[in-house]
Chain A
Amino acid sequence: MGASKGQKLSGMQKQVLSLYRGFLRAARSKPAEERRQIESVVSAEFHRNSKQVDRKNFLYIEYLLRRGKKQLDQLKSPDTIGLSSVNVGSSKKQNADT
């Protein structure tokens, strides 16, 4: 999705950055060790996608955004401490029954 080099941000890029910010904010509310772990996984995942996903592949990026938002909602729950809910693959998780 193209980590940009300083030119004007597109609407979609803003959404991605906003989601990223949301994850980092959510991580702040977790205990220190979990926070570090969440930050490193989230950072790696966003950077990986920014390099691998074609910046014109809007459908896929929109899908990733939707998936990310769901995962972020789960992460925000005070019951979620770990990363299993943030993990790649599936967005079903861990504290689905809370």
Chain B
Amino acid sequence: MALRAAVLRHIRLPVQTLAATGSRPQPQLSFLRLFSSHDDHLTKEEVIDRVLDVVKSFPKVEPSQVTPDVHFQKDLGLDSLDNVEIVMALEEEFKLEIPDKEADKIDSCNLAIEYIYNHPMAG
């Protein structure tokens, strides 16, 4: 949602300048195309929002305690099994499959955000 709003805002801007100036449509268009080839990758803000939403909706978590800096086990009172459940929920949210080796390392919101943001397939 936030992404769509951001993209629409950006797309409208060049179109307005195009109408105003009238000339030189070519560079404007190629700029647009470049821009749009990038926007199917998630923005950091979107990743953060969605990761926090997933963690907040975990039954054993008190949503008000969740910030991008929380450690699942030290700060939220979860155990390693809950940790597995959260990482699995993140997999589904972002349509990823995270290998065991990586999944075992993801023990905080920050690490989850970094991993997902840097994952080329996250959607």
A95 to chain B, nearest CB (A): 25
In the assembled complex, A88 has its CB within 8 A of some CB on chain B = no
| Given known A-B contacts A5-B74, A6-B107, A13-B80, A18 and B85 have beta carbons under 8 A apart | no
Q: How far is the CA of A28 from the CA of B73 in the complex (A)?
A: 25
Describe B's contact surface by its main secondary structure: helix
| Given known A-B contacts A6-B74, A6-B107, A9-B104, A17 and B81 have beta carbons under 8 A apart | yes
Q: Please count how many residues in chain B sit with their CB below 8 Å of the partner chain's CB atoms.
A: 15
| Given known A-B contacts A14-B104, A18-B100, A21-B103, A43 and B73 have beta carbons under 8 A apart | no
A residues near B (Cβ < 8 Å) are 3-6, 9, 13-14, 17-18, 20-21, 24-25, 28, 43, 46-47, 50
B residues near A (Cβ < 8 Å) are 71, 73-74, 79-82, 84-85, 88, 92, 100, 103-104, 107
